[in-house]
Amino acid sequence: MNALTKLSRRQSLQALALFGAGAAITRFHRPNTAYAQATSSSEIKDEDIFQFALNLEYMEAEYYLRATTGKGIEAADVGPDAGPVKGGSKVPFQSKAIREFADELAENELAHVRFYRKTLGSQAVSRPTIDFDAGFKAVREALGMPDFDPFANDMNFLLGGMLFEDVGVTAYAGAAPLLESKEFVEAAAAILAVEAYHMGMARSQLYQMGDKAQKAANAVSTARDKIDGAGDKDQGIERNGKANLVPATPDGMVFRRTPQEVLRIVYLTDKSGTDSGGFYPKGMNGMLKST
């Protein structure tokens, strides 16, 4: 049993509120506004964390479904107050392997959306407004690719997916210590593993595409690290002239991000107190929505 599991849930949440650590094993940093707000009146609930995850899964499912089918999630799976989704189109895949990988990604992410909606029941949040056009417009500057369209070809599709998958893995790892229900912990761990498979495959395929793809992927990593907060929680797919397909800490563990660090990336901002922007022009739905 590690030091984290010896803490009570209330003690862990108090520490998180004070020190902002979804990754609270060895190091704490900037104050975590949303946790502080949530715990000032009541403890954050497992359902709040799953609602946060559902927001992310909506975006991933929409991205992959639009890339593979040309259309997004069906009305039955988005909730009664679903926001619109702007952008996205069917990718003209050239590689059979990448096309099949994309189909599997879309199937997995839609399954995650359905799992969370089923698990949360009446507490499931509807799909938030998602804007791929505005989000990727900002990403173009970070990539140094003014004509970058994630739906234009195989490489661009993988780069766009990498933006979500790397963040998703660190988000799940950061949220795991906060969950109280054993069943919720088991579910989050199982989904984290699938997201990590996705990430590893995308990074591997990009690396094999050569110098252009490697530089673009590293640019995505650098851009994320500039806005997510203090500390280095990102790694490109090439380091010191060698492949770096598995981003990991010196202890060989996955990096962990707090919800606020994740929100800075998807809102495309480095400012605290922001509750919308980037891919979510009207913000996420649920309690955890402010950087």
pLDDT bracket for residue 145 (50, 70, 90): confident
Q: Which residue has the higher pLDDT, 270 or 95?
A: 95
What phi and psi values does residue 242 have, to the nearest 5 degrees?
A: -130, 160
In the chain, pLDDT over 70 holds for what percent of residues? 86
> Which pLDDT score is estimated for 18?
29
Q: Which residue has the higher pLDDT, 102 or 272?
A: 102
Spell out the domain ranges in the chain: 46-267
Residue with tokens 């403890």: 43
pTM: 0.84
pLDDT at 21 over 60: no
Residues 6 or more apart in contact with residue 73 via CB below 8 angstroms: 58, 61, 62, 65, 110, 113, 127
> Which pLDDT score is estimated for 241?
87
Distance CA 178, CA 23 (A): 9
In residues, how long is the chain?
291
Condensed to tens digits (0 to 9), the pLDDT of residues 173-222 reads 888 888 889 999 999 999 999 999 999 999 999 999 999 999 999 988 88
In the chain, pLDDT over 90 holds for what percent of residues? 59
Condensed to tens digits (0 to 9), the pLDDT of residues 111-139 reads 999 999 999 999 999 999 999 999 998 88
User: How buried is 174 (Cβ within 10 angstroms: 0-12 exposed, 13-18 middle, 19+ buried)?
Assistant: buried
Q: Which residue has the higher pLDDT, 274 or 32?
A: 274
Residues 6 or more apart in contact with residue 176 via CB below 8 angstroms: 185, 188, 189, 192
**Minimum mean pLDDT among 27-36, 190-199, 211-220, 224-233: which range?**
27-36
> Which pLDDT score is estimated for 11?
37
Distance CA 7, CA 288 (A): 23
> Which pLDDT score is estimated for 177?
83
Distance CA 249, CA 256 (A): 10
Average pLDDT of the chain, as a whole number = 84
Residue in 205, 204, 239, 245 with CA at minimum distance from that of residue 222 = 239
